[in-house]
A and B are shown apart, each in its own frame.
Chain A
Amino acid sequence: MSGLDWGVLIGTIAFIVLYGVWKTRKTQQMSAYLRADNTERWWMMGLSIMATQASAITFLSTPGQAFDDGMRFIQFYFGLPLAMVVLSITAIPIYYRLKVFTAYEYLESRFDLKTRSLAALLFLLQRGLSTGITIYAPAIILTAILGWNLTATILFIGVVVTFYTVVGGTKAVSQTQRLQMAVMLGGMLAAAIVVVRLLPANVGFPEAMAVAGTSGKLNLVDLSFDPNDRYNLWSGLIGGFFLALSYFGTDQSQVGRYLGGETIAQSRLGLLMNGLVKVPMQFLILLVGVLVFVFYQFYAPPLYFNQQQASNVLASEAAPAWRDLEISSQQIFQEKKAATLALVEAYQTENKPGEEQAAHRMQQAEAKRKEIRQEAQLLVKTYNQGTDLKDTDYVFLTFVTQQLPRGLVGLLLAVVLCAAMGSTASAFNSLASTTVVDVYKRSLRPNASDGHYVRASRWFTVGWGAVSIFFALFASQLENLIQAVNILGSLFYGTILGIFIAAFYFKRLRGNAVFWAAVLTQIIIFLLYQYTSIAYLWYNLIGTILVVSLGFLLQPLLRKPA
């Protein structure tokens, strides 16, 4: 990495952190520390909500997913705008009326203490585990591609985020996130423009789309209904709706963002801004991945994107076999490149038979390339015991570091670190506020001073920072990082959402029945995950329905005799 890139990277991160600390250094009241004193404007909340959801994994894994599987992942976000509307109508007015610090406080006024504590506990468990992954995921990829030290990278992200979150609380999280979001959007837009400019002179954006379409990468909408298929229109609209409803309505890392709004109207606008901008933003990130795929149709990609794992094979007795595969891969690449250029020419001259012929040649070459990839993966598996075999998470950063001009590499790395820091800061802040408000203040020290709770919040932020860093340092590699986070979320979100849906809409349900229904539901969800192949997005719907229906079934059984 050049000096200019280091300058851009360090300058961007340092400016954002120092700005956040300086702006929020005088935060001393609990209301200011945990709810930003209700001073946030809608656009600040909108950016903060988006930055919380957009982790580093979003910018590393999503382009890789588009590179490998096309753009169908976009359907995952179709339920999100619907959820934003429902939450604006239902949840926001209730939270504001009760003046809560956390979403779980509401559950005690509606049900009882044990249901509130259960929901808070499920949140702490889920968020505490997944925050470790949000730190670990970018660290492992940055380490593999840039040769950075893994432990140092994890410690850097964890300690810096803990520092400014401890100093300024929710306000610091929000102040830094708006700058981080600007860097993220600017960086990805610049990357999209530069990828198109790096394509051969006769290949513009329309030709790039023709190549991507012929290769099956523009598979944005799939109307077929298959409950075992992770991404189609229906799983996105229904499963995605329930996941978004749960994540934005009941996960304190998000609820904490919009509870800091000046008024109900400002909070609603913040959520609706997210509903309007999220789908096109994800489209842009996936499009960058597809454009990187098109780039590698004209310029030879490495046989395997995870260079660290490839090096392990090269250092073994399988090195000659690996080199043979590299030579075969180069030959297939040349065949495919010739077919792709023929497709571009046929597209430009509107020669339909020529397009079909070229497409057929491309598909044949692709089938051969896949065979070589499978052989390479077999070698990687043999000489990298127990590690992740999907190298799609490494595609985007490999492209950035090897192909982008100086300065832009630093900016894109800043995008990844900003994303990691923004989502991690929200997580630390929400973990600390839930621990203080729903456990410490409610059950352990109910009558302490305001200053005491702010100090406690700071110490709990440090504590959760340490726990997350610990998990990040000892996390094992997972199949696909973004999916790992989403699967973990879906395992718990259905139950939590079921509790809140019961609270909001089913006035006849009482605390005892909902509590035991939630416990049973969580056990059933774990069993479904272990023993069935149902796509994880459906757990959100199944969990929600189970809590409500089991609640109604259990209610007559648990009713105390008069």
Chain B
Amino acid sequence: MTKGDIDPPPFFKSWTSMYWLVLGVLAGFILLFYLITRAYT
């Protein structure tokens, strides 16, 4: 175990929150791209 294991990520209390941010941003992009596809097809 290194010090890095204990350090939380910046702006978040836990790494789990950080992972959800990444997945949430991905979901947001997919939704946005889907809406663009629907709007212009």
Contact = CB atoms under 8 A, between A and B. Distances in A.
B2 A96 contact: yes
Contacts of B33: 74, 220-221, 283
Given A78-B30, A85-B19, A268-B15, A263 B2 contact: yes
A89 B25 CA distance: 18
A220 B26 contact: no
B30 A265 contact: no
Contacts of B30: 78, 221, 233
B39 A89 contact: no
A93 interface: yes
Interface stretch (A25-33, A208-216, A324-332, A380-388): A208-216
A262 B2 CA distance: 10
Nearest to A261: B4
A252 B7 CA distance: 26
A265 B6 CA distance: 8
Contacts of B25: 81, 276
B3 A221 contact: no
B25 to A, nearest CB: 6
A264 B36 contact: no
A279 interface: yes
A265 B3 CA distance: 8
Contacts of A74: 33
Given A210-B40, A263-B4, A275 B29 contact: no
Contacts of A216: 41
Nearest to B3: A263
Contacts of A261: 4
B16 to A, nearest CB: 9
A93 B26 contact: no
B22 A81 contact: yes
A88 B26 contact: no
Interface in A145-199: none
A280 B22 contact: no
Q: Name the prevailing secondary structure of the B interface residues.
A: helix
A203 interface: no
Contacts of B18: 268, 272
A82 B30 CA distance: 13
A272 B2 contact: no
A220 B34 contact: yes
A41 B32 CA distance: 32
A219 B33 CA distance: 9
A264 B41 contact: no
Given A84-B22, A85-B22, A279-B26, A220 B37 contact: yes
Contact of A268 (B9, B23, B34, B41): B9
A290 to B, nearest CB: 11
Contact of B4 (A210, A218, A221, A264): A264
Contacts of A268: 4, 9, 15, 18
Max chain A C-beta neighbours (<10 A), residue from B3, B25, B29, B34: B29
B7 A265 contact: yes
Given A78-B26, A213-B39, A220-B34, 20 more contacts: A81-B22, A81-B25, A82-B26, A84-B22, A88-B19, A89-B15, A96-B2, A214-B40, A218-B37, A219-B37, A263-B4, A264-B4, A265-B7, A265-B8, A268-B18, A269-B9, A272-B19, A275-B26, A279-B26, A283-B29
Interface of A: 74, 78, 81-82, 84-85, 88-89, 93, 96, 209-210, 212-214, 216, 218-223, 233, 261-269, 272, 275-276, 279-280, 283
Q: Lowest 9 CB-CB distances: which A-B pairs, in order?
A: A213-B40, A263-B4, A264-B4, A220-B33, A265-B4, A265-B7, A218-B40, A81-B26, A221-B34
13 contacts: A88-B19, A89-B15, A212-B40, A214-B40, A219-B37, A219-B41, A220-B33, A221-B34, A263-B7, A268-B9, A269-B9, A269-B10, A283-B29
